[in-house]
Amino acid sequence: TPMLAVDGVSKHYRNGRGIVAALSGVGFRLPAGSTLGIVGESGSGKSTMARIACGLLAPDAGSVRLAGTELVGLAVRDMRRLRRRVQMIFQDPLSSLDPRQRVSAAIEEVLAVHGLGDRRSRRASAGQMLELVGLPAAAGERYPHQFSGGQRQRVAIARALVLKPDLLICDEPVSALDVSIQAQVLNLLVRLKRELNLTMLFISHDLSVVAHVADHIGVMQRGRMVEMGAAEDVFRRP
Ligand code: ADP
Ligand code: ADP
């Protein structure tokens, strides 16, 4: 069973001028432990696909199965339990971090919400997660604005991984960072993928970024997956 199986997914949006077909019959498989990169220009439907894959958004049609469990049409309660197994990081790490909350508390909160551990063990886990992403455990005392952009994305990654999700969805995770910092964050994701046997869906408009982390690459164009293959094959094409 693949970790993620998407079949025939379509999604329309209504805007002032009419209906936009954001996704039209998209399908792909993501085997456990592998990384699928999705590239495509702005507006091709990548973010919509990411939000549907983690159950944040319902498709108009199609099927999304996480380790065999259908997400489409799932009851709210079951969806909440399932959502714990899929975490996302975004272009702007501040979208998932509260500026008034020390980052240790932000990570501990994720565990507390799911009733995991006591105060001491949650504090210890937060420290371990920060060290896992290359920050000192003591950085947990700081607030998000006291970190650089790249460090902040590391914090968001630590927070996303503290529940040991089955699937990590990265939506343009380095697009807002300086090029030199991009490589560091990408290398971190590659290391985490290896060490934790992570399954990742990695979305970017930048093929060179995707090629850095993905085993397989899908190319999206106007809401359709127009190409899919092993990274080296998609890359080799003229
Ligand atoms: P090849 O890519 O050479 O055909 P693979 O064993 O790598 O052989 O893949 C077999 C099939 O499984 C292909 O259709 C490929 O698209 C799909 N596949 C394998 N891994 C992934 C992945 N990580 N994401 C999406 N599809 C994958
Ligand atoms: P990408 O991530 O590749 O930039 P998106 O999934 O964000 O693509 O968008 C796909 C299409 O759907 C675009 O035409 C976009 O304008 C449209 N779209 C996305 N979100 C909304 C929304 N909330 N309301 C209306 N249209 C939207």
Q: What's the pLDDT tens digit per position in 19-43?
A: 999 999 999 999 999 999 999 999 9
Q: From the CA of 171, which ligand is nearest? A: 2
What is the longest distance spanned by two Cα atoms in the chain? Answer: 55
**Residues making up the chain, counted from first to last:** 238
Mutate to test the pocket of ligand 1, among 216, 226, 227 (most ligand atoms within 8 A of CB): 216
Instruction: Report pTM.
Output: 0.88
Looking at the CA of residue 220, tell me the nearest atom of ligand 2. Answer: 3
Q: Which residues contact 155 (CB under 8 A, 6 or more apart)?
A: 93, 97, 103, 106, 107, 130, 133, 135, 139, 144, 147
Type of residue found at 9: V
Lookup: tokens for 78: 């079951």
Pairing of strands 4-15, 199-204: unpaired
Between the alpha carbon of residue 82 and those of residues 98, 141, 238, the distances in Å are 24, 31, 41
- The confidence band for 127, taking pLDDT boundaries of 50, 70 and 90, is very high
Between the alpha carbon of residue 39 and those of residues 99, 220, 226, the distances in Å are 31, 6, 10
Q: Tell which residue, 84, 88, 85, 158, has the closest CA to residue 114.
A: 84
11, 70 Cβ separation under 8 angstroms: no
* CB neighbourhood size of 149 (10 A): 16
Q: Tell which residue, 146, 200, 138, 150, has the closest CA to residue 174.
A: 150
Residue 235 is predicted with a pLDDT of 67
Query: Residue 19: is it exposed, middle or buried by C-beta count within 10 angstroms (0-12/13-18/19+)?
Result: exposed
162, 111 Cβ separation under 8 angstroms: yes
Lookup: tokens for 64: 């999304």
Q: What's the pLDDT tens digit per position in 42-70?
A: 999 999 999 999 998 999 999 999 999 99
Indicate if ligand 2 lies below 6 Å from the C-beta of 59. no
Distance 28 CA to ligand 2 centre (A): 20
Q: What's the pLDDT tens digit per position in 148-183?
A: 999 999 999 999 999 999 999 999 999 999 999 999
ipTM of the complex in this document: 0.74
Task: Report which DSSP code applies to 41.
Answer: -
1, 68 Cβ separation under 8 angstroms: yes
Q: In what order do the strands lie in the sheet with 18-30?
A: 18-30, 4-15, 61-66, 69-70
Mean pLDDT of the chain: 95
Q: From the CA of 214, which ligand is nearest? A: 1
Over residues 74-84, mean pLDDT: 85
